[in-house]
Each structure stands twice: as structure tokens, then as C-alpha cells.
Amino acid sequence: MKPYRINELASKYVEYDMIQTYTELPAFPDPRLRLLHAVLNEHEALASKSELYTLVVSLVQLGMDTHDLIDTEDTRRTEMEMRSRQLKVLAGDYFSSRFYQLLSQAGQIAMVSKISAAVCEVNRLKMDLYIKMQRSQLKAEEYLTKLTALKSEMFQLFTDLMEGAFVKLWPEMLQEVSRCETVLAEMERFDSSPRFYQSWAYWHVMQEGTPEEQQSLAKQPEQSYVYDLLGKYELQSKLVSKLKSAADRLRQTAAKLESEPLKEVIQDMADSFLEKMSARIRA
């Protein structure tokens, strides 16, 4: 199996001094990329393109994730905040545009069309989610399911290229890896009252909490109040259970694979999710 070096390849497009100085980028979608790279290498017809395809998807996903960080509220901003916002716009556009160039240079015009269609579908899913959030029509589990779908959608386009058992196993593995990423990200939102707003925990309390608690959440409460809710509704333990279940399903799917190297990659991925969860709990 070819070594995974997508982070290294992507760094030439991502690590610019001005971006690193004046703004922050979202987390690199490493688990999904590792999975994609490993699975593509199991296909004789796709192995030679595994690095190219994984690299361009990493840039497109990073571009979309960067645009998601842009503050759209109509408020006054400091010069530093304005610069950070402008750089997010430009950086997201830049990352997204590079995949056209990379694929065109490689003569992969058909893949340009596939990725463009996937971007459109991701945007459609986002709009559906945002509308439901604005109307307060979401249940907590529905929110988690929709976020998982958003993370996996860009990678689903490769299903049509898969062969044999991977036609069924690829979507299953992608689903569980994306869900693990989603749950871990939701756990990180516990520590910030602004980030708690419209998180999985927020929707859980809006679904199960008292009218007084629901009203308080709408006003962005103090962090101490958020911690009280975390304890009362055992929100961390609920997410821990969801992560363990997703990691177990990922292992079970990996066990169906014939390739031992691929099994090892996926088992290590499941272990890594659980280690990050444990580190989060200890912190």
C-alpha cells in the first residue's frame, strides 16, 4: 500500500504566512482522506490516481469548510476581524479552485464534473440544515445525522468507481468515520458558550429540557450554566456512547475486508478516535 502523504502534498497550497498570521483554518479532514487513499489503493484501476484524487478532495473540502467559518452577522468588526474574514473568503476560494487546475493538468476532466456535482449536493444539504436550524425544527439525532451526511457527501462520489465488496463496504466505512469525526467535533463545543449554540447538545436540551432552560439557551447563557446542563443531561456520556458505537461498527465493517493492510489502517483509525475521546474526557 502506498504511504499516505496528503498532508505534505496539501501543505504547499495551505501554509501561507498571511493565512497563518491573520486567520485560522478548519481542521484538515484527515480521517476521511486516509480512508479514501487506502481504499483507492486497493483498486488496480484507481491506485495510480489515489494521491491525486485524495489531494483534490482535500482541497475542495477544506475550501468549503473554510467558507463555513465566515461570520455572516451584520455587526461592526475590528480591522483584525475584517482581515481575518476577508482571508477566509479568499482562502476558501483559492483551495476550491486548485482542484480544477490539478485535475485538468492530469487530463481528468470527467472527475472535475463529478466533484462539481458533489459540491452542489453538499451546498443543498447545508441549506436544508440551515433552514431547519433557523426554524428550530431539528431533533438532536437528526442534527447529528445531517452533519454526518455533510462530512461524507464529497467522498460518496467515489462509490460509483468502486468494485467488488467495496461497492457496499465503502459507504458503510465512510459513514462511520464521518460520524466519529462529527461526534468528536461536537464534544469540543462543550467548552465555549458561543459554540454550544446550535450544537448537538443545544438541540438535545431544546428537545428534552424545561421551558426555562430552552429560553435561557436562546440568550447564549454563561459557561457555568452550560456546564450545569452538561451534567444534568449527561451530554458528554451520551456522545461517548455514540462514538463507541460508531467505532465498533467501523471495526465490524473492517473485519469483512480481505486486505490485511487495509484492515490495519481502519482498525488504527477506530483506535485513534477512541484515544482522542479519552484524551478529551481526561482534559
Instruction: Check: CB of residue 54 under 8 Å from CB of residue 36.
Output: yes
Instruction: Check: CB of residue 10 under 8 Å from CB of residue 61.
Output: no
CA distance 241 to 229: 18
pLDDT tens, 191-216? Answer: 888 899 999 999 999 999 999 999 99
pLDDT at residue 25, as a whole number: 85
CA distance 263 to 271: 12
Q: Does position 18 have pLDDT exceeding 90, yes or no?
A: no
**What is the arithmetic mean of pLDDT over 154-166?**
96
pLDDT at residue 21, as a whole number: 77
**What is the arithmetic mean of pLDDT over 261-268?**
95
pTM, 2 dp:
0.93
Helices 223-232 & 200-208 angle (0-180, nearest 10)? 70
CA distance 17 to 21: 6
- Cβ atoms within 10 Å of 160's Cβ, excluding its own: 8
Q: What percent of the chain has pLDDT over 70?
A: 98
pLDDT at residue 247, as a whole number: 98
Q: Which grid cell sits at 226? A: 452550560
Instruction: Check: CB of residue 6 under 8 Å from CB of residue 37.
Output: yes
pLDDT at residue 146, as a whole number: 97
Average pLDDT, the chain: 92
pLDDT at residue 72, as a whole number: 63
pLDDT tens, 168-191? Answer: 999 999 999 999 999 999 999 998
pLDDT at residue 40, as a whole number: 97
pLDDT at residue 15, as a whole number: 82
3-class SS string, the chain: CCCCCHHHHHHHHHCCHHHHHHCCCCCCCHHHHHHHHHHHCCCCCCHHHHHHHHHHHHHHHHHHHHHHCCCCCCCCCCHHHHHHHHHHHHHHHHHHHHHHHHHHHCCCHHHHHHHHHHHHHHHHHHHHHHHHHHCCCCCHHHHHHHHHHHHHHHHHHHHHHCCCCHHHHHHHHHHHHHHHHHHHHHHHHHHCHHHHCCCHHHHHHHHHCCHHHHHHHCCCCCHHHHHHHHHHCCHHHHHHHHHHHHHHHHHHHHCCCCCHHHHHHHHHHHHHHHHHHHHHHHC
- Cβ atoms within 10 Å of 3's Cβ, excluding its own: 8
pLDDT tens, 49-107? Answer: 999 999 999 999 999 998 888 776 666 667 777 778 788 888 888 888 888 899 999 99
Q: What is the CA radius of gyration of the chain?
A: 20
Q: What percent of the chain has pLDDT over 90?
A: 75
Length of the chain: 283
The identity of residue 190, as a single letter, is: F
pLDDT at residue 75, as a whole number: 65
The identity of residue 78, as a single letter, is: T
pLDDT at residue 69, as a whole number: 84
